[in-house]
Amino acid sequence: MKLIGSNTSPYVRRLRLWLEGINYEFAALNIFEGEGRDTLKSHNPALRVPMLINGDQHIFDSRVIFRYLSHKLGRPALTWDQENSLTVIDAANDTFVSLLLLSRSGVDIDQQTLFFNLQHERVERTMTELDAQVADGKFETWDYPAICLFCLVDWVMFRDLYDFTRCPNLQRFHSQYQHQEGVSESDPRQG
């Protein structure tokens, strides 16, 4: 079983942390150029990471990989509330990634246009919702949803994309879990 991705992707990192203690191979790529880009193109038509190769089976997208591996490993399915929390986490993650890539491409992400106004509104709504969910105790167990939230918060902190003083529960949550097994080894600041 081989997980292919980048060292800095929060979507890849969530699977690496969830697979802690499971025997698998991790192949880190530079997905933006050269050989890493060619490898990505040869395995995944969506041109995204992570992807999983297990024998003849190729699986794309972190949530699909999670469901596939949960079934293979005999782990319980997520509840609908957990699935909804993951949707909020993924919406925030997708928006932050898009804003980072646009900014790195020289686009002014603070311009007052429909697209950017919607993205900033989504950031505020999702982060406020996740802060409230942490306050309600929804992420007290180090399970896949908590791992996904940790990877989001840590990646956003790493990229300095959000002022977390507005979300004290997310700050506390991050501090609570930053010493979990595998967290320092998968830190995006190292890749």
Distance CA 147, CA 66 (A): 12
Strand duo 57-60 + 2-5: pairing: unpaired
Q: Which residues contact 116 (CB under 8 A, 6 or more apart)?
A: 109, 110
Would you give the DSSP letter of residue 107?
-
| DSSP labels, 29-93 | --TTSHHHHHHHHHH-TT--S-EEEETTEEEESHHHHHHHHHHHHTPPPPPHHHHHHHHHHHHHH
Measured between alpha carbons, how far is residue 102 from residues 109, 110, 115 in Å? 7, 11, 12
**pLDDT value of residue 44:** 87
Distance CA 26, CA 10 (A): 15
Tens-of-pLDDT digits for all 191 residues of the chain?
999 999 999 999 999 999 999 999 999 998 888 898 998 888 888 888 999 999 999 999 999 999 999 999 999 999 999 999 999 999 999 999 999 999 999 999 999 999 999 999 999 999 999 999 999 999 999 999 999 999 999 999 999 999 999 999 999 999 999 999 999 999 999 85
- Which H or E run includes 27? strand 25-28
| DSSP labels, 125-159 | HHHHHHHHHHHTTTT-S-SHHHHHHHHHHHHHHHH
pTM: 0.95
Distance CA 12, CA 27 (A): 11
